[in-house]
Structure 1
Amino acid sequence: MGDSDEDVIYGYDEEEYGLDVNFNAAECAIGVLQQTSNNLIYLFGAAFLCLFLRKIPLVFRANAYMIISHFLIYQFSSEFWGIFRFFNMVTFSGIVMVGLKIRGNIILFTQIAIIMIFQLLLGTEYMLGVRGILMLHAMRVIAVGYELENSNGEPCTFSILEYLYFPPVLVMGPFLTHQQFVSFQYGQVGGFKQIVKNISLATVLLCGSLTALLISSCYLNMLKAPNVWVEDFIVALSFRTSNYFVCYLSQSVMQFLGTEIVVTEFGEIEWPRSMATIVSYWNIPMHMFLHTYIFSKNVFSTVCCNAFYTFVISSLLHGYDPQISITLLTLGFITFSEARFRRKLAKRFSMCVKAKECYEDCQHTNNGLISSLINFTFRILSLYHLIFTGMPFVDEYASTGYPWEHTYESYENHNFASLYISLALLLFSFLL
């Protein structure tokens, strides 16, 4: 702003304190909230309708859910007919394969193939706008396939349809297993006090979600980074807060419906014990899906291969996205290396330093200052890994897709530090 009268009145220079004087955060916040408000009305309106639709017969309820879902798709997507075709293709293929008792693994790869074909036909830019909706829908089909592949009875088509097209979780999530959905669908609504409690908690979660949205979209843009390290920190933080927006919004909707589901824990991410903690708490329902239906199926004989397979499947469910794939595989390598090293270290020196916190009755004996320092060091290291894996997600390519060269250059700017550190930990783990 320079040496204007306003600087004299307020006693500081915004540019000196790293603020972008040309960016109006208040106007940005008002604009973002205005754009978001209509979508929130549609989303919570659909949730409100579903509370009443629970009491009608299954056949009518399933059809009502399908109508509401397509209305939401129309509101949230600029290319309605493209995603309409995808949804019905996924649903039809899933129901047919479940009815034929086809194995869950085949259903899994069929859904991934459909996602890839959809992206090829409609383009990457369009795919980026609806990827979350498509991925969640495919995940529900996959979950049904795995849950019903060993069932003795005939699956009820309308029961599957109401699960696949449940409107409140269609756009933002969270992912619900078929069993979780059934528990909600046929559970008790509760009395007046419970309803007030649900609305109050949903409001608090919604406020937290919108706060994260404003931080990500507006307030972080006020900051002018004095160097590349601070700039990378801001970009990574913006990426994380955008995730908090989606997660807490979906949690708010479920709380409004009377179902308490924890979707994320920002405290466990912003001050993590390990990278395993971040992976687990980033999106808890997504993590449970991958653990239950992918990792726990033990496609391979070793934990390492199954972990790598899980991260590959996770990246494929996002469609063809080089940066997402590189980021997820990098996360997998960092997480596995750290967990293996800390597990070996804990066993070798009998200390509570594993990636996941020990139980209270563990048998480790050396839990003094050194153990605390090791855990603290890995917390700081995890914070750096958060920056390293989050810094490529700049706004420049957000709407068109991130080329792999951009990700490579971002890692190169940090001399691939996280990868080399993780490689060193992996090598040291073989020596312990």
Structure 2
Amino acid sequence: MDYDYEDLADEYDVEDYGIEPSKSEYIHEGYSENISLRPPLYELFYHCLTPTVGEAAAHLGKVLFYCVVFRLVCDYGPKRLKNLTSIGCGIMVTYHFFGPLTWYLAANATISYLVLQVSTVVLNRGRGVLTAVTSVVFLFLCELFIVASQDWHTIRGAQMLISMKVISIGFDIDSNHLLSVPMPMDFFGYIFCVGTIIFGPWTRFSDYAMIGHNKLGIIHNILVTSWKSAVALFFLSISTCWSFWIAPNGSYKWSVAYRDALSFRSSHYFVSKMAEASSLTCNILQSKVKGAKKDDKKYENDSVSAEPIVITRPWSIELPRSLVEVVVHWNIPMHHWLRTYVFKNTRSLGTLPAILSTYAASAMLHGLNFQLAAVLFSLGIYTYTEHIFRTKLAFMINGCVGPRKCSDCTHALKESHFVVMIINFCFSLIVMFHLAYLGFTFNSAGSMEEEGYSMYHTLEKWRWLNFSSHWVVLFTFILASVM
């Protein structure tokens, strides 16, 4: 089995859009590393759950209101108002969350559009690469010299989404999936679409263009959106309240590590489910090739169906089969973007350069962050080692214990065999151990959480856990090498 980027990590990111409520004061007040404090449930309800969920619901309600306005215009209004409404609603929402920082989003989109036009007129090729370079340079300049650290951390997620959209347009034109650079109103309507500009996800330009054509039943939309919103708030309550109630400071250090990692993952699920709700409200559906296999990413405008966007699958992460499954299901649109526009475009250089290019692209889009780069690099080593070890083990015992379930299993020991179930269960526990170790670095109170995590913070967190996860992976790699 050839090792492909699909079996490698795509991202492990804290998606901060400046809207997640801070943890309630009682969570931190009186805490120390040596004191265990678990407040009564009524205090948890009144001082954490109620204000946190209430504040988040108000933010989500405002986004969904503008999504409904946009949806009504697209479904029942003049078609010429679609882009104008998208831009207007998108800017209203971004200004609600980011205030004057919205101008930096507009600057990124405008400069990128000019580069698209100039590269088309002057070169008529290389649009994808030029827009990618322009976006990365713009992000670096803003982060290093123009925008304050705390402000940049607030808008970083939205800036990344804009860059991903622009870069995808450039590569789609180069590969003839788009015939030309979109008109200005189409372009900015796509960039500032209210259903994706705040929480995501990344979608193709063609998916935006199909809004108003592909329709789901209004009752279906209301029910699914309500469910996704409720699930989002549930995960937010875990991230900010329940996790710290279940494992307060002073608990066993691995309990604290798992708690902080769970809090981080739950905040990601919160943002992802809000994104699914907002995109569905706008009737943004993802294209899927008819009759294609599940992992077939081929894009054909004239043979696609449309379905609601799925961003993350929490149960595949919390109860994982392998790290490979975790990184695929962590952020499905981001995984697809990296695989389509980075890995496939660099694979001619060789598998290793393509993998390194993919990680470099992911890291650069997320900014200059040692913590994220360290986790990404670690995940690359982890998943590569896991892939080699479990593939060899599956061959040795002729059992279905590989990093992914067999689509057409030919092993003597099937998935339901007792020995296979025990082995896969042990691997799942190891993955949960690695996730606790890696995710532990993403939680800290105070200004560090608002401005980004330093190298010292990351290494100190891992040192506290004795770098145990890295030692386990090193041992696994050595064992895989001699098998």
- The two structures share one fold, judged by TM-score above 0.5: yes
Q: Deviation of residue 95 (structure 1)?
A: 4.7
Q: Alpha-carbon deviations, 1:232-272, whole Å to 9, x = none?
A: 11111100100010011111123333441111111100000
Contact 1:199 1:255 in 2 (8 A): no
CA–CA distance in 1 between the matches of 2:454 and 2:179? Answer: 47
Q: In the TM superposition, what are the counterparts of 1:8-407 in structure 2 within 5 Å?
A: 19-20=38-39, 24-54=44-74, 60-80=81-101, 81-97=103-119, 100-120=124-144, 121-151=146-176, 153-157=179-183, 158-183=185-210, 185-190=211-216, 194-222=217-245, 223-225=247-249, 226-258=251-283, 259=285, 260-299=308-347, 301-359=349-407, 361-367=408-414, 368-396=417-445, 397-407=448-458
Q: Deviation of residue 322 (structure 1)?
A: 1.3
- 1:357–1:334 Cα change, 3 Å: same
Q: Which residue of 2 aligns with 1:13?
A: none
Structure 2 residue ranges without an equivalent (≥5): 1-34, 286-307
Which sits farther off after the overlay, 284-293 or 266-275? 284-293
Contact 1:128 1:401 in 2 (8 A): yes
Root-mean-square deviation (Å): 2.5
Contact 1:58 1:159 in 2 (8 A): no
Q: Alpha-carbon deviations, 1:201-245, whole Å to 9, x = none?
A: 110110010111122122323342422111111111100100010
1:381 is paired with a residue of what secondary structure? helix
AA matched with 2:411: H
AA matched with 1:30: T
Structure 1 residue ranges without an equivalent (≥5): 1-15
- 1:244–1:98 Cα change, 3 Å: farther
1:409 equivalent to 2:460? Answer yes
1:353 is paired with a residue of what secondary structure? coil
Contact 1:47 1:168 in 2 (8 A): yes
AA matched with 1:61: K
CA–CA distance in 2 between the matches of 1:149 and 1:306? Answer: 19
Contact 2:108 2:135 in 1 (8 A): no
Contact 1:98 1:144 in 2 (8 A): no
AA matched with 1:144: I
Q: Deviation of residue 284 (structure 1)?
A: 1.1
Q: Deviation of residue 369 (structure 1)?
A: 3.4
CA–CA distance in 2 between the matches of 1:301 and 1:82? Answer: 35
AA matched with 2:132: L
AA matched with 2:38: L
Q: Which residue of 1 aligns with 2:480?
A: 429
1:148 is paired with a residue of what secondary structure? helix
1:364 is paired with a residue of what secondary structure? coil
Contact 1:308 1:332 in 2 (8 A): no
Q: Alpha-carbon deviations, 1:263-299, whole Å to 9, x = none?
A: 1111100000000111011111111111111122234
Q: Alpha-carbon deviations, 1:66-123, whole Å to 9, x = none?
A: 2222221110104333444334334443454456433423322321121111112103
- 1:209–1:94 Cα change, 3 Å: farther
1:297 is paired with a residue of what secondary structure? helix
Contact 1:316 1:325 in 2 (8 A): no
Query: How many pairs align?
Result: 413
Contact 2:369 2:453 in 1 (8 A): yes
Contact 2:115 2:130 in 1 (8 A): no
AA matched with 1:63: L
TM-score, normalisation: structure 1: 0.88
CA–CA distance in 1 between the matches of 2:466 and 2:376? Answer: 19
- 1:272–1:180 Cα change, 3 Å: same
CA–CA distance in 2 between the matches of 1:381 and 1:103? Answer: 43
- 1:369–1:40 Cα change, 3 Å: closer
- 1:320–1:252 Cα change, 3 Å: same
Which sits farther off after the overlay, 26-35 or 125-134? 26-35
1:205 is paired with a residue of what secondary structure? helix
Q: Deviation of residue 300 (structure 1)?
A: 5.5
- 1:17–1:383 Cα change, 3 Å: same
CA–CA distance in 2 between the matches of 1:339 and 1:77? Answer: 42
Contact 2:53 2:236 in 1 (8 A): no
Report 1 or 2 for greater relative contact order, CA contacts < 8 Å, sequence distance ≥ 6.
Answer: 2
Contact 2:109 2:191 in 1 (8 A): no
Which sits farther off after the overlay, 419-428 or 132-141? 419-428
- 1:92–1:228 Cα change, 3 Å: same
Q: Deviation of residue 24 (structure 1)?
A: 4.1
Q: Deviation of residue 18 (structure 1)?
A: 5.7
Contact 1:198 1:256 in 2 (8 A): yes
Q: Deviation of residue 342 (structure 1)?
A: 1.3
